[in-house]
Chain A
Amino acid sequence: MADKFDGLPGYSGEAALSDTDAPHARFDIDNVGPLGRVQRFLHAFPTMVPLIVLALSVVGFGLFAGSKFFSPYNMSLIVQQVSIIGVLAVAQSLIILTAGIDLSVAATMVLSSVIAGHLAVRLGINAPVSLLISFACGTAIGFLNGFLVTRIRLPPFIATLGTWNVFYALNLYVSGAQSIRGAEIDAAAPMLKFFGENFSLFGTQISYGSLLLVLVFGILWYALTKTAWGRHVYAVGDDREAAELAGIRTDRVLISVYAVAGLICAIAGWSAIGRVGAVSPTSFFEGNLQSITAVVIGGISLFGGRGSILGPLIGALIVGVFQSGLRIAGVDVLWQLFAIGWLIIIAVSVDQWIRRISA
């Protein structure tokens, strides 16, 4: 029986052999060697790589930088330090799971916090209402991104490159690049600084912002793994056309993903007010790239559809551990950048290697 695929690279001619017992028709998993087994294992559990890196780096810096690094207090401090970028990384992960990218996450976050701050402190509007308006603005910005990507058919990189600049400029316009001081917030709307509060537990210092980080990851983990919406997000990211053919309304899924990401950014904005102790329009200028770094190191594939939402949490922690460890060891800041650069390259190389299994 002639096969029209005969001679094409990578095609084994299975169709022609389907009625025989020839051994090469099987998917052979026995003779892959130890490295191949590792590859398969990592393919099945993509978060293992960042988890191992995190464990190794904590131990490594513990030996390198000593007890000042390896104390419960410093460990909890690292969580506080990544609590904002970590939440942004959740938003970023959602977008990257759909094979997109969002450069506007930090601008959305900062603009939302500035809007909340101005409404509550400058205009004296009641704090919960101000926050709700800022959440609505964040969601609307995300929706605009989703609209540009699905209806105007802009590549996500371009759409969010545009909205990043637009909303960053609006942030500077609304705030005049001027911070709203902590004392003013305390007087007018202390609720805005809620996530900056903390409590002690076994020698650690846990901020409410750190708890928010865990909570946001928990909710998104549930939504992505236990709901139909979550499976649709993965399906759209893996192969949009196939998802469409399977009856998923891919445009709706995408718009919802961008809108949810915008909402998460706005919530991060609230948390950021607590973390920096002020409404700061100039902080987190590189938050978009830092969130992408966390996602990539966390093992979510930039090509979409693969990776666990818990990866970016670990990715953000790895970056935090490196920064804290190198700072405490007194290493010059430029070597911190150097180290994180290599982390990104290695993380994506490992991802590429793992992906080869399905080729």
Chain B
Amino acid sequence: MKTAFVGAISCALLSTVALTVPAYATDAITACLVTKTDVNPFFVKMKEGATAKAKELGIRLMTFAGKQDGDADTQIAAIESCIGSGAKGILLTPNDSSALVPVITKAREAGLLTIMLDTPLDPANAADATFATDNFKAGELIGKWAAGKLGPEAKNARIALLNLNPQQITVDYMRNQGFLKGFGIDIKNPTRIGDEDDPRIVGNAVTNANEEGGRSGMESLLQIDPDINLVYTINEPTAAGAYEAIKAAGRQGKVTVVSVDGGCPGVANIKEGVIGATSMQFPLLMASMGVEAIKTFAETGKKPEVTPGLDFFNTGVELITDQPVDGLPSITSEEGLKKCWG
């Protein structure tokens, strides 16, 4: 029994590593980063980008994260501790675009610069600035690509939509609605998933943005219509799961899968033909720009500006595919692998 206990401990140690606490000058500027979760590699990369930039600029960075997608409570508590710590600014990827507005207002009243990364608040101007992917554009790009890829067959498409979760948060509906609009479907209310009545849509399923959800969701939609030939997915792990279901149903090669993110495993899956096209976003850029903005604000009081025509600063999105479509700029998976994150 002792040996098994020692085994348990060594298992724990095997996977742990000594954490080094960097030393900072006591008068260093403090900034906080509050991400959605530590589960999504997107936010893990964002944290790495912010940490590297903060180190370079000599800023003390405190990091927090929600427990799972949609967990606003933990984020509110994190922002409250951040205000209490005397930080100059907060970088936040809100888990709930509305629920975090009051605490962000409180932070602004306390004189902190508040910057949203990746997901805007609702309304977006409740924060000082938003550095984000234009998620609607990201969806639109893959939608247009899919329309070009299917060509005249697009009018007979059978479409499956694999979304995030039942809450219908901004990034979820923006990508979904962007995709449908890009493909040429009447989206009705652009902030509502599932109110469309286009007969080409077979159905929506929620996946929690992971492989398991992608597979189960796709299996059910294939039960409704085995002839599905176009699948939109909220992110690349979901796409990989959906592909497993497609394979099990013997529909390999007959279904086009599109996604959003640009993580390295996702780009590699483009190369192997699992995913047809993906919209790459740039989390490291968001994070490092955010840290710089807080430094500028602390030193000069100057706040960041928005991209003309949008209510946020667009950090860009790039279409990755190995089957380019006329009139739609894209880069290959080979080039994508050099730019991908994670």
**Could you tell me which A residues sit within 8 Å of B by CB distance?**
68-69, 73-74, 77, 80-81, 84, 111, 115, 136-137, 139-141, 143-144, 147, 166, 170, 172-174, 176-179, 181-183, 196, 198, 205, 207, 255, 259, 272, 275-278, 280-285, 323-324, 327-328, 330, 332-334, 337
Q: Is the CB of B44 within 8 A of A140?
A: no
- Extra contacts besides A182-B244, A324-B223, A328-B220 (11): CB < 8 Å: A111-B15, A173-B16, A275-B212, A276-B244, A277-B241, A277-B244, A281-B39, A282-B40, A283-B210, A324-B220, A327-B221
Q: Which residues of A contact B205 (CB under 8 A)?
A: 327, 333
A184→B38 CA distance, assembly (Å): 24
A170→B12 CA distance, assembly (Å): 8
Instruction: Please name 11 pairs of A and B residues whose Cβ atoms are closer than 8 Å in the assembled complex, sorted by A.
Output: A77-B223, A137-B7, A140-B7, A143-B5, A144-B5, A144-B8, A177-B44, A179-B211, A182-B244, A276-B212, A277-B243
Q: Is the CB of A172 within 8 A of B237?
A: no
A73→B245 CA distance, assembly (Å): 13
Q: Tell me the dominant secondary structure on chain B's binding face.
A: helix
Residue B316 lies at the interface, judged by CB distance under 8 Å to chain A: no
CB of A323 to closest CB in B, whole Å? 8
A173→B13 CA distance, assembly (Å): 12
A328→B166 CA distance, assembly (Å): 17
Q: Is the CB of B39 within 8 A of A278?
A: no
Q: Which residues of B contact A272 (CB under 8 A)?
A: 212
Q: Which residues of A contact B203 (CB under 8 A)?
A: 330
Binds A, one of B91-99, B265-273, B284-292, B297-305: B265-273
4 closest A-B pairs (Cβ-Cβ)? A283-B212, A277-B244, A140-B8, A144-B8
**Could you tell me which B residues sit within 8 Å of A by CB distance?**
1, 4-5, 7-12, 15-17, 38-41, 44, 68, 166, 194, 203, 205-206, 208-213, 215-217, 219-221, 223-224, 237, 240-241, 243-244, 247-248, 263, 265, 268-269, 272, 274, 342
> When A141-B8, A275-B212 are in contact, do A196 and B220 touch as well, CB less than 8 Å?
no
A111→B194 CA distance, assembly (Å): 35
Q: Is the CB of B8 within 8 A of A179?
A: no
- Max chain A C-beta neighbours (<10 A), residue from B4, B208, B342: B4
